[in-house]
Structure formats: structure tokens, C-alpha cells
Amino acid sequence: MSRTVTVGLDDSPESREAAEWAAREALLRGLPLKVMYVQENASRYVVRTPLLDLDSYQRWAEQLTQESAEAIRLRHPGIEVVTEHPTGTAADVLCEAAGFAELLVLGSRGLGRLTGFMVGSVSLGVVARAERPVVLVRAEEQAADEHKPDPAGVPSAATPFRPVVLGLDIDHPDDTLLDFAFDAAARRKAPLRAVHAWPEPPPSFYGLSGGAELHDRLEREQASLLSQVLHRWRQKFPDVEVIEASRCGNAAQVLVNDARDASLVVVGRRIRSGALGAHIGHVTHAAMHHIAAPVAVVAHT
């Protein structure tokens, strides 16, 4: 069975934007799009609406997925769209679906610039457990948001893509993460900005004789290490313009700042098999909650 771009659908605005983003991504990758609505065993719709029985709820779920699929086909001629509405616990079903997908796309609710974004419990559960890439898309995400403005400053989906931004830990670089980010940039014909943060030295460091010179040397060393990590990938993707961004500061804040003009942000999540179980690192957590662009979380060992 060929892989698909799969989107988890519900009746929310962010879910509809996620479906639109997933359709565009499926076209970029030349893959079918699967629109999936998970019918919960004890649906909140049935519980809160006494007049809606389980049969009615099932028909409603089927209608929702079919109407979404038809709308996508109309807006994106030529795309292959399939629908599915399995029954079960949403996080469990979506995690299983992710295993058969090229990537899984979910919606994320906006709360405003100061408070960031709300990642629901289902999305958090899927991101923490899925071993395939999961992309979170914000409410009100539009195709033009991922592109540079036209010469008159008007948003347009016909202009080149904004950069793909990769949050990279050069102490533990992972091929799965790097390959996903470079491939995403290549498909968009967009620059790839690889962002690496290194910690600010303690204040006492600057009181040392030659502290400024030592800081400059540390800065050069960190930039050189980033270049070394990226060297092989530059060769593998020679057409991708690479922007190396080695910054001093808090890793989460550095990434959020560098992602303000991104079309897509790519971050990693380490797969854990020990007693600690599923885990989302603090940088990935910050990206999910505070970056406006779609965020791809790539699981890796």
C-alpha cells in the first residue's frame, strides 16, 4: 500500500485549515490525501445532544468527511482523496494511522500572539507517541501565509515560499530529521535555515581577562560545528540554499524568534523506549505552542 498524507478531521476551524494544508502537501509530494474522522466510542456529540443518537452521529461523521473530500477535490483538481471514519479512541487511532502515512496533519487552536497556541490533548498525545512526522497547523492558516508577499506587499500564494526553518541539536544530529527538513525545502524550492543555539556563558565569564576574545572563539567554534553537520546534506541537496544560524541564547526562544518568517518549521522528538515513556522536549514544546507557521515534529531515535 502506498503511503498517504493523512489529516485528522473534526468540525473545528483549525481542522479545516489542517485539511487544506494537507492537500497542498499531498500535491507537493505527489501522494494521495486521506481524510480521517475518528468516531469516538462515547462521542461528546451524542452525550451533549440527547436528540443525536449513535446512528445519526455516524451518518453525520460520514457526511463531514465526504463533504470535506469533495471540497478539496474542487479546490485542488487532480488530487486523489480517500476518506475513512474508524471507531475508537482518537489518539490511539491517529497514532496507528500515522504509522501508515508519509505524515499526519492535525489542527492546533490559536489563542493570540501573547498567549500562543493551544495544542489539544489528542494532538499532544499523538505527537508524543507517533513514530512518523506529525504536522500541526494553526487556525486561519492560509496558503499565502507560507509565501513571500508580492512586489506590492500583498499576500500571494504565487510567490516563492518563505524559508523552511530547522531547529537542530548539533550534539545529537539525526539523519531522519535532517532529511525531512532538506526534502521539505527542496520540494518548496525554498531556503533552509538551520538554527542551532548554544548557551550564554555565565556572567563571571566576561570578567575574565580576554573574556570577549574567548566568547568570539566560542562563537566561531559553534558555527564551524554547525557547518560540519550540514556539509553532507548540502552535497545531497545541492539545489537547496542553506542559511546557517548559530545563535547564543535559550534554544527555545532562539528558534521561536528565527521562525517568524517561516513557511514550515521542523523540530525533532526523540523516541524513548525506557521507563520514562513518551516525551516532548522543551524546544519542541515551545515550537508547538508559540510558532505561527505549521510545525512538523519528526520522531527519531
Report pLDDT digits (tens) over 225-280: 999 999 999 999 999 999 999 999 999 999 999 999 999 999 999 987 655 556 78
- CA 145, CA 139: separation in Å to the nearest integer? 12
- Between the ranges 58-72, 102-116, 191-205, where is the mean pLDDT highest? 58-72
Residue 186 neighbours by CB distance under 10 Å: 16
Q: Residue 94: CB partners within 8 Å, gap ≥ 6?
A: 8, 36, 38, 104, 106, 122, 126, 130
Percent of the chain clearing pLDDT 90 (strictly above): 72
211: its cell numbers: 573574556
When pLDDT is averaged across residues 83-97 and rounded to a whole number, the result is 93
pLDDT score for 173: 94
28: its cell numbers: 507537493
pLDDT score for 28: 96
| Summary mean pLDDT of the chain | 89
112: left (phi over 0), alpha (psi -120 to 50) or beta: left
pLDDT score for 277: 52
Report pTM.
0.92
Report pLDDT digits (tens) over 157-166: 999 999 999 9
Residue count of the chain: 301
Percent of the chain clearing pLDDT 70 (strictly above): 88
Phi/psi of residue 152, nearest 5 degrees: -90, 0
| CA gyration radius, the chain | 21
User: pLDDT grade, residue 1 (50/70/90)?
Assistant: low
Does the pLDDT at position 198 exceed 90?
A: yes
Complete DSSP assignment for the chain:
---EEEEE--SSHHHHHHHHHHHHHHHHHT--EEEE--B-TT-HHHHH-TT--HHHHHHHHHHHHHHHHHHHHHHSTT--EEEE--BS-HHHHHHHHHTTEEEEEEEEEEEETTTEEE--HHHHHHHHH-SS-EEEEETT--GGGGB---TTS---SSSPBPPEEEE--TTS--HHHHHHHHHHHHHHT--EEEEEEEPPPPHHHHTSTTHHHHHHHHHHHHHHHHHHHHHHHHHHSTTS-EEEEEEES-HHHHHHHHTTT-SEEEEEEE---STT-S---HHHHHHHHH--S-EEEEEE-
